Amino acid sequence: MTNKILLKFAKKGINLSPEAYKKVLEAENPLDFTSSLIVKLKGGDFKSKDLVSVSGQTVDEIMRNSTIEKSTTRPQLTQKETSLLKDLKTQEKLCAEKYEKYSAEALDPQLKTLFSGIADTERHHLSMLEQIEGGSAPATAGGSHTQPGFSAAYSVADTDAKKHDSYLCTDVLTMEKHASHLYDTCIFEFTQESLRNVLNSIQKEEQGHGKAIYDYMSANSMYS
């Protein structure tokens, strides 16, 4: 667990102080907190290649903001909303695990990086859904995330490597379409505007994932 957490931060160019690392390990779910922390630190004005140093004070600040978000509103869920939320959590867990698996299996380094970054975002989504389930209204997802650009790693010819990575992309693209449709249903079913806004922001990020995968496939002559 500890090696996996350190590796995730290192891959994103995030340098943790010893105090910050200790606080991450003390979180209720260190792996999910790691993904949420990465999303918050690498969103907005930061680019994926930027190096970020994180102190214990920074971790405290993020945790304090999360606590404020939790205490602001205590939304009560209907039985139907609770059931739909369970479906969303199952979907996000599946997405995160599949992206992590496919990041390890992808042959093109660009695709590995893309899948790894999306996996972190899916873990963050799962954390947000768990906050809703616990009676909180988390802040809306994301920020000003720039869509990545891709260079052509594969030619028009159908090599075995290209077919392999194309299969991974097609599979996760189908998964993203299903996730977006599920969120679309839930947005109409949830009664509280604050929760609809949160779900809508997550859905937009899911659509952004689909767009990034399509762009990669298009750049590599995989999408027909």
pLDDT in tens, the chain (224 residues): 567 777 777 777 787 788 877 777 877 677 777 777 776 665 544 444 556 777 877 777 776 665 544 444 456 889 999 999 999 999 999 999 999 999 999 999 999 999 999 999 999 999 999 999 988 878 776 554 567 789 899 998 889 999 999 999 999 999 999 999 999 999 999 999 989 999 999 999 999 999 999 999 999 999 76
What kind of fold does domain 1-72 have according to CATH? Helicase, Ruva Protein; domain 3 (1.10.8)
d(CA 72, CA 53) in angstroms, rounded, equals 30
Residue 40 has a pLDDT of: 67
Query: Quick one: residue 209, left, alpha or beta (phi over 0 = left, psi -120 to 50 = alpha)?
Result: alpha
pTM above 0.85, yes or no: no
CATH assignment, 76-224: 1.20.1260.10
> What pLDDT, on the 0 to 100 scale, is given for residue 67?
52
Which residues fall within 8 angstroms of residue 15, CB to CB, at 6 or more apart? 9, 51, 52, 53, 54
CA distance 160 to 23: 44
pLDDT of residue 44: 46
SS3 for 145-208 is: CCCCCCCCCCCCCCCHHHHHHHHHHHHHHHHHHHHHHHHHHHHHHCCCHHHHHHHHHHHHHHHH
Given this model, what pLDDT does residue 74 score? 55
Domain 76-224 in the same topology as domain 1-72: no
CA dist., res. 205 & res. 212, Å (int): 10
Q: Helix, strand, or coil here: 214?
A: helix
User: What is d(CA 219, CA 143) in angstroms, rounded to the nearest whole number?
Assistant: 25
Instruction: Delimit the domains of the chain by residue range.
Output: 1-72, 76-224
